[in-house]
Chains A and B, each alone.
Chain A
Amino acid sequence: AQSVTQLGSHVSVSEGALVLLRCNYSSSVPPYLFWYVQYPNQGLQLLLKYTTGATLVKGINGFEAEFKKSETSFHLTKPSAHMSDAAEYFCAVTAPYSGGYQKVTFGTGTKLQVIP
């Protein structure tokens, strides 16, 4: 079984400030972890993913996330927020199943507001 918890359904930051969106996971096997972004009235777009290897993952639009096994966390960060970052962000976890496919479990999302 796997699950994802996103702390904070709404986060507000000032333009230029650090963005930190928190994600903790639970998985009985080594997880694969994802962050997706959803802009208003659009589908989800992959920001970044961790599968194996380097634990610090860099994604699009200046975002990065670090896989910390000891803390079961995969927090998303960006050094300086832009107005265009305002969106909803979803953390997700998956693991290989016996059927050989991935059943992705998503968190409930965090809406990021960027204040001018």
Chain B
Amino acid sequence: GAGVSQSPSNKVTEKGKDVELRCDPISGHTALYWYRQSLGQGLEFLIYFQGNSAPDKSGLPSDRFSAERTGGSVSTLTIQRTQQEDSAVYLCASSLVAGAGNTIYFGEGSWLTVV
């Protein structure tokens, strides 16, 4: 696609429910990143994919968070048993290759509200 596409753009869910957030990176981009942006805070790194593997999961806040990437393309971030503190904008990004200095392109984000 022309840009990084994320869905849903907005999601309101009840505490305790599971949610899935989808990211479709720019075609041909091998590196994919998930970030979380909470109100009044900067961007928090969650996970990085190179192809289908995730060499760095260090940013995932708890074991309720997981992510996968299939076919070297689409990625899904899953949050189980959501809590109110999970409310944030979840941003997906991709870059052509993973090396430092390569431009990272961001999607418009998935706004998650846990009530």
Contacts and interface: CB of A to CB of B under 8 A. Distances in A.
Interface of A: 9, 32, 36, 41-46, 49, 51, 90, 94-97, 99-109
22 contacts: A32-B101, A36-B106, A43-B4, A43-B108, A43-B109, A44-B43, A46-B103, A49-B103, A51-B100, A94-B100, A96-B100, A99-B56, A101-B31, A101-B50, A101-B56, A101-B100, A102-B100, A102-B101, A102-B104, A103-B48, A108-B40, A108-B41
> Can you list the 10 inter-chain pairs with the closest CB atoms, starting with the nearest?
A101-B98, A43-B106, A108-B42, A102-B100, A106-B43, A96-B100, A51-B101, A44-B106, A43-B108, A32-B101
Contacts of A9: 40
Which label, helix, strand, loop or mixed, suits the secondary structure of the A interface? loop
A17 B107 CA distance: 31
B45 A43 contact: no
Contacts of B91: 43-44
Nearest to B43: A106
Interface of B: 4, 31, 33, 35, 40-43, 45, 48, 50, 55-56, 91, 93, 95, 98-109
A101 to B, nearest CB: 4
Contact of B106 (A45, A95, A97, A109): A45
A108 B43 CA distance: 7
Given A107-B42, A108-B42, A102 B102 contact: yes
Contacts of A46: 103-105
